[in-house]
Chains A and B, each alone.
Chain A
Amino acid sequence: DVKVTQSSRYLVKRTGEKVFLECVQDMDHENMFWYRQDPGLGLRLIYFSYDVKMKEKGDIPEGYSVSREKKERFSLILESASTNQTSMYLCASSLPAMFVQFFGPGTRLTVL
């Protein structure tokens, strides 16, 4: 079974803090993704990576950066957290030919 894990299920941070969200997958998938999910807006892609050190912006990259130093790990960084970044953050991974994405359990981030 594909396993995608995320470093925290719940996180509470203060405005202006630097926040790291980590995602690890154990199936040797090339592609990894970060989404945020908000009520009424659905899932929106923040960034994705198709290989180590390779990344592309998604639909809402502003205020976020990512890092992929190893194939199995994809980190999302909020450089200076703001209250409008309070959301559920979901990581996913996939093989390039399959296009099927497998999701981690999610991190519910609250920025106060």
Chain B
Amino acid sequence: QKEVEQNSGPLSVPEGAIASLNCTYSDQGSQSFFWYRQYSGKSPELIMFIYSNGDKEDGRFTAQLNKASQYVSLLIRDSQPSDSATYLCAVNSEGTYKYIFGTGTRLKVLA
């Protein structure tokens, strides 16, 4: 059974701090990795995707991938109260259309 694990949280950080969200996956054939943000009652919206080992930066967000250790993380710099949401990690295996989603980490940014 392929799995994607996330700590459910809540992860609480003060405004302006760095929030670090982590995700581990079991399928060594995983090729594509995605972070979605989901506000309460809303649908997931894509923040970032990463395919290669290392870091990928987009504004205040940085995705980090380590395939050898089978984890992917999302860093949010200068966290804002508007970043308070559930963050979903999704993993896609090579040659398939399917994602495996984690259950999400709830982030609370305290003003």
Instruction: Tell me whether A99 and B92 are in contact in the complex, defined as CB-CB below 8 angstroms, given that A40-B103, A50-B97 are known contacts.
Output: yes
- Contact stretch, chosen from B12-20, B43-51, B64-72, B73-81: B43-51
Residue of A nearest to B36 (CB): A103
B residues in contact with A101, CB < 8 Å: 34, 46, 90, 99
How many residues on chain B are close to A (CB under 8 Å)?
A: 19
Residue of A nearest to B101 (CB): A43
Give per-residue flags for A28-52: 1 if the beta carbon is below 8 A from chain B beta carbons, else 0. 0001010000001111110010100
Q: Is the interface of A mostly helix, strand, loop or mixed?
A: strand
A residues in contact with B36, CB < 8 Å: 103
Does B102 lie within 8 Å of A31, measured CB to CB? no
Does B97 lie within 8 Å of A41, measured CB to CB? no
Which of the residues B32, B46, B88 comes within 8 Å of A102, measured between beta carbons?
B46
Q: Is the interface of B mostly helix, strand, loop or mixed?
A: strand
How many residues on chain A are close to B (CB under 8 Å)?
A: 22
Instruction: Tell me whether A104 and B43 are in contact in the complex, defined as CB-CB below 8 angstroms, given that A42-B102, A42-B103, A99-B32 are known contacts.
Output: yes
Residue of B nearest to A56 (CB): B97
Does B101 lie within 8 Å of A103, measured CB to CB? no
Does A41 lie within 8 Å of B103, measured CB to CB? yes
Residue of A nearest to B49 (CB): A100
Most chain B Cβ neighbours within 10 Å, of A58, A100, A104: A100
B42 within 8 A of A: yes
The docked-state distance in angstroms from the alpha carbon of A7 to that of B42 is: 15
State how many angstroms separate the Cβ of A11 from the closest Cβ of chain B.
15
Some 27 contacts from A to B, beta carbons below 8 A apart, are A33-B97, A40-B103, A41-B103, A42-B102, A43-B44, A43-B88, A43-B101, A44-B101, A45-B99, A48-B98, A58-B98, A90-B43, A90-B44, A96-B97, A99-B32, A99-B49, A99-B92, A100-B34, A100-B46, A101-B34, A101-B46, A101-B99, A103-B36, A103-B45, A105-B43, A106-B42, A106-B43
Other contacts beyond A94-B97, A99-B49, A99-B97: 8, CB < 8 A: A45-B99, A48-B98, A90-B43, A99-B32, A100-B34, A101-B46, A103-B36, A104-B43
